[in-house]
Amino acid sequence: MAASIPTTPHANAGGESWSNDWVQLELVDPDAAETGYGRKRNALAILGFIALGLVLLMAILGPELAPYNPNKPDPAVTLQGPSREHLMGTDQYGRDVFSRVLHAARLDLRVAISITAVALIVGTLVGGLIGFYGGVLEHVVMRIIDVILAFPGFVLALGIAAMLGNSTRNVIIAVAIAYIPYYVRLVRSEMLALR
């Protein structure tokens, strides 16, 4: 869409006024200016929300939708491939893999939310305190954070979980410890900017 807009009258070097000058402007519709990358990014965001919705639906309705008891072994059907009776096959004990996945979604979601909450709360508190007060405590905590960040997060979480033992609570603690430093650094830098 093109539009003509008159320019304001002004004098040139010779003192003459240009009152009849018109400038051609090309007006671009902001909705039409979206690039291919923008459309692709929006499509990926929608796809991500759909995947998240499916995981939430599985976590909420999984145990009711499961066709079999996920913990009941059936030696007659061990290690079967996918079929009409067992959509994802069976494991070495004859347990239905699809039923086990549906039941595990609730625990997985609970663990993920717990890890994020613990890392966020502890990281925010520690980062806020050391950012506000500073001093020797800030330097000591930041060196500890640097040591933790020197290790890959997953490897550090595996090592901590191996030391703590085999339980869901220990996995939550181990992974949260691996991700607390990111929140500490972020909150500390914001506190330093405000101080």
First to last CA, the chain: 50
Which of left, alpha, beta for 108 (phi over 0: left; psi -120 to 50: alpha)? Answer: alpha
List, in sequence order, every residue forming a beta bridge with 6; answer none if it has no partner: 22
* 141 part of a folded domain: yes
**CA–CA dist 100, 7 (Å, integer):** 72
**CA–CA dist 66, 174 (Å, integer):** 31
* 177 part of a folded domain: yes
CA distances from 195 to 138, 185, 189 (A): 14, 15, 10
pLDDT at 5: 53
**CA–CA dist 68, 89 (Å, integer):** 12
* 23 part of a folded domain: no
CA proximity to 184, closest of 124, 117, 140, 135: 124
* 148 part of a folded domain: yes
- Please say whether the beta carbons of 56 and 113 come within 8 A: no
Burial 154-165 (b: 16+ CB within 10 A, else e): eebbeebbeeee
* Residue-range definition of the domain harbouring residue 138: 102-194
Q: List, for the chain, all residue ranges whose pLDDT scores fall below the cut of 70.
A: 1-39
* 11 part of a folded domain: no
* 66 part of a folded domain: no
* 179 part of a folded domain: yes
Say how many domains are in the chain.
1
pLDDT at 43: 87
* 174 part of a folded domain: yes
pLDDT at 77: 93
pLDDT at 42: 87
Count of beta carbons in the 10 Å neighbourhood of residue 57? 12
CA proximity to 131, closest of 72, 80, 189: 189
